[in-house]
């Protein structure tokens, strides 16, 4: 989830190619899938000792923003005080950074992308206050 959220799509919903087809949608031309890995260790109980069997499977997924023809569930947001006031000391610290990363206020969750050297943040209106550490939405 961390890596998928760091990619920077505004939607938190991801689908396999087969799921897109099942929902009657299609993937836009030129879009690329992202790999995700599912792993688990199965325990097989035997007479003398338990056996641990590793299981690994990978999938290629697309963000719903890369698709067309799919009805996306509306995520209700809580409107808070529209007079959001940034913390001045924090703003000064960020402004003074020698190699400041790009900061985008368009994400569903706060995340950092090392390859892009970019920070994705939820919109300020989703926070209850300037000091709030969690954006309010149904995804938390």
pLDDT, position 21? 94
Task: Count the Cβ atoms, other than its own, within 10 Å of residue 126.
Answer: 20
pLDDT, position 107? 65
CA–CA dist 131, 80 (Å, integer): 13
Return all residues near 18 (Cβ < 8 A) that are at least 6 apart.
none
DSSP for 44-57, please give it. E--SSS-EEEEEEE
For the chain, 140 residues long, the average pLDDT of each consecutive 10-residue run is: 78 91 94 92 80 90 92 66 72 85 77 83 71 50
pLDDT, position 138? 38
Strands 34-44 and 51-63: antiparallel
pLDDT, position 87? 80
pLDDT, position 20? 94
């Amino acid at each position: 989830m961390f890596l998928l959220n760091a990619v920077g799509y505004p939607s938190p919903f991801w689908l396999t190619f087969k799921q897109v087809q099942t929902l009657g949608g299609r993937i836009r031309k030129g879009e690329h899938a992202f790999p995700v890995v599912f792993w688990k260790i199965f325990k097989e109980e035997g007479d003398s000792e338990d056996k641990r069997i590793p299981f690994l499977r990978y999938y290629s997924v697309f963000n719903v923003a890369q698709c067309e023809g799919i009805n996306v569930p509306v995520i209700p947001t809580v409107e808070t005080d529209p007079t959001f006031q940034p913390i001045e000391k924090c703003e000064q610290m960020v402004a003074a950074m020698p190699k400041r990363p790009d900061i985008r206020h368009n994400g569903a969750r706060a995340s950092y992308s090392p390859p892009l050297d970019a920070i994705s943040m939820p919109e300020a209106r989703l926070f209850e206050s300037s000091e709030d550490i969690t954006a309010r939405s149904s995804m938390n």
